[in-house]
Amino acid sequence: MYSDVRGQCVRTGQKLWQSLGHFGLIAILLGSAVASAEEVIQETLLAPPAVPAPLQRDHAATVVIHLQTQEKEMEIADGVRYDFWTFNGSIPGPMIRVREGDTVELHLANDPHSRMSHNIDLHAVMGPGGGAAVTVTPPGHESVLRFKAMRSGLFVYHCATAPVPMHIANGMYGLILVEPPKGLGKVDHEYYVMQGDFYTTGAYHDTGHQPFDIQKLINEQPTYVLFNGREGALVGAGALHAKVGEKVRLFVGNGGPNLVSSFHIIGQIFDEVATEAGSEVNHNVQTTLIPAGGASMVQFSTLVPGTFLLVDHSITRSFMKGALGQLVVAGPQQPQLYQGVTAAAVAVEKPMEANDPMAIGKRVFTQICSACHQGNGMGLPGAFPPLAMSDYLNAAPKRAIGIVLHGLHGKITVNNTGYESQMPAFGGQLSDTEIAGVLTFVLNNFNNKGGSIAPQDVSNVRAGHEN
């Protein structure tokens, strides 16, 4: 009955006091929510990177939140399984959105299948343990914490059950946004990203089930550093999207347990950063530090189309431990804002290699292609397809001319793996000789099937005679 009444209030959007006439007796059970005649809202939680919609309220309410702690085996990377501990089955747990002055009634249930007790410490709470003290919940039980959200900001929540570092390292964290009374400024997109470090017994990309490694945790040497708990969570099908000319806000948290994040988006400048998610706003920021157990709100304008990489600029973590996401910005090119240099200007700088296609190809590969396809041509899972042993490339080597000239986007399959991403055009930046050279270099390395592309082939495609 209790939950029926609450469900009714949610479905109809009625204020609690309006339904008192029908449900007066039961409503009394709701206690102080009724005493203060505050609107009671049951918040619908969404899995990351989705964010609950901005609040439209000009008054405080009682917000009811349901979290369930779940211990769950999932993939941490392609072919690598890990026993995560979660809030609501996702990493991070769902983002909670309330307004300053709201009373939050947080129900923390622990899945009956759990092996451990869990609790919750919300950094938005002023009280012992941030709520942890009163929410220790054995498997199959539920605790309720009621608190007033007294300060606005973006706050981390996490499990604080001993051993705390282990509960956090297994994925038990998320964010709670306490909106200021006036709300946040309007933007076109809001997304939710949270970094965390993970410790597996096996090395990076060792496949199969990988147990938690406490010694690596103690040494603070993670095997994986990830956005949203899985390598590739924000890549390809999971990429964030926007259009040219829009404003994007990211709610970025860092669960840790150990590393501090140097959060950066390659090819963007943050118009606004709420430093450490407090009320101080900084402008025109390239990289923002996000402490373990801290957060940041960043806002930027998507002026130019393309794929932009979310990284921790302690960059080894992004290219060798998994902390990589994508923001795909769609729309027309903006040559007045961003354009490749002319082939002629580049050509003057290297007369020495003029007649050696393989030398030219190797240079171009190292300077340009390897940034994404990697120095060994193996690409990056979920983000950049391999050029090594690529069935896609070897099936039609000349098709690659058009790809390098004009770029490529849309879904393709390389070696039985789907990619849905975007490669920029290099036609403005590379000469026919350079494109011929790099493709010849690639075709004759990385166990590809050989062959050669002549500058004339490139010039034909450029002129629109082929492909």
Which residues are near ligand HEC by CB under 6 A? 364, 368-369, 371-373, 384-387, 390, 392-393, 400, 403-404, 408-410, 412, 414, 419-424, 426, 438-439, 442
- Tell me: does residue 86 bind Cu ion (CB under 5 A): no
**Piece of 94-102, 115-123, 187-195, 315-323 that binds Cu ion (CB under 5 A):** 115-123
Say how far apart CA 362 and CA 374 lie, in whole Å: 13
Contacts for 436 with CB less than 8 Å, ≥ 6 apart: 357, 361, 452, 453, 454, 455, 457, 458
Q: Please, which residue, 292 or 405, has the CB nearer to ligand HEC?
A: 405
* Binding partner of residue 441 among Cu ion, ligand HEC, none, CB cut-off 5 to 8 Å per kind: none
- Tell me: does residue 172 bind Cu ion (CB under 5 A): yes
Exposure of 336 by Cβ count < 10 A (0-12 exposed, 13-18 middle, 19+ buried)?
exposed
Q: Please, which residue, 151 or 399, has the CB nearer to ligand HEC?
A: 399
Contacts 24+ apart (CB under 8 A), 131-139: 131/106, 132/160, 132/161, 135/106, 135/108, 136/161, 137/69, 137/108, 137/109, 137/110, 138/110, 139/110, 139/111, 139/112, 139/113, 139/114, 139/115
* Binding partner of residue 419 among ligand HEC, Cu ion, none, CB cut-off 5 to 8 Å per kind: ligand HEC
Q: Please, which residue, 255 or 427, has the CB nearer to ligand HEC?
A: 427
CB of 331 to ligand HEC, least distance (A): 17
| Cβ neighbours around 214 below 10 Å, total | 14
Q: Is the torsion defined by CA of 341, 345, 350, 353 positive or negative?
A: positive
* Binding partner of residue 167 among ligand HEC, Cu ion, none, CB cut-off 5 to 8 Å per kind: Cu ion
* Binding partner of residue 420 among ligand HEC, Cu ion, none, CB cut-off 5 to 8 Å per kind: ligand HEC
| Binding residue (CB under 5 A) for Cu ion from 9, 149, 159, 297 | 159
Beta-strand relationship, 173-179 and 153-158: antiparallel
Q: Please, which residue, 111 or 276, has the CB nearer to Cu ion?
A: 111
Helix (H) / strand (E) containing 192: strand 189-198
Q: Please, which residue, 37 or 371, has the CB nearer to ligand HEC?
A: 371
Q: What distances in angstroms separate CA 28 from CA 5, 32, 203, 275, one per listed residue? A: 11, 9, 56, 43
Q: Please, which residue, 146 or 409, has the CB nearer to ligand HEC?
A: 409
Say how far apart CA 129 and CA 123 lie, in whole Å: 9
| Binding residue (CB under 5 A) for Cu ion from 161, 288, 307, 318 | 161
* Binding partner of residue 124 among Cu ion, ligand HEC, none, CB cut-off 5 to 8 Å per kind: none
Answer whether 53's CB lies under 8 Å from 179's CB: no
CB of 77 to ligand HEC, least distance (A): 18
Say how far apart CA 203 and CA 140 lie, in whole Å: 35
* Binding partner of residue 302 among ligand HEC, Cu ion, none, CB cut-off 5 to 8 Å per kind: none
CB of 160 to Cu ion, least distance (A): 8
Q: Please, which residue, 143 or 431, has the CB nearer to ligand HEC?
A: 431
Tokens 């759990």 found at: 114
CB of 372 to ligand HEC, least distance (A): 3
Phi, psi (degrees; rounded to nearest 5) at 430? -110, 140
CB of 208 to Cu ion, least distance (A): 25
Q: Please, which residue, 9 or 172, has the CB nearer to Cu ion?
A: 172
Q: Please, which residue, 315 or 408, has the CB nearer to ligand HEC?
A: 408
Tokens 């600029």 found at: 313
CB of 424 to ligand HEC, least distance (A): 5
CB of 369 to ligand HEC, least distance (A): 3
Answer whether 241's CB lies under 8 Å from 327's CB: yes
The count of residues interacting with Cu ion (CB under 5 A) is 5
Tell me, rounded to whole angstroms, the distance of Cα 220 from its chain centroid. Answer: 22
Answer whether 187's CB lies under 8 Å from 240's CB: no
In 3-state terms, what secondary structure has residue 202? coil
Residue numbers at the binding site for Cu ion (CB under 5 A): 118, 159, 161, 167, 172
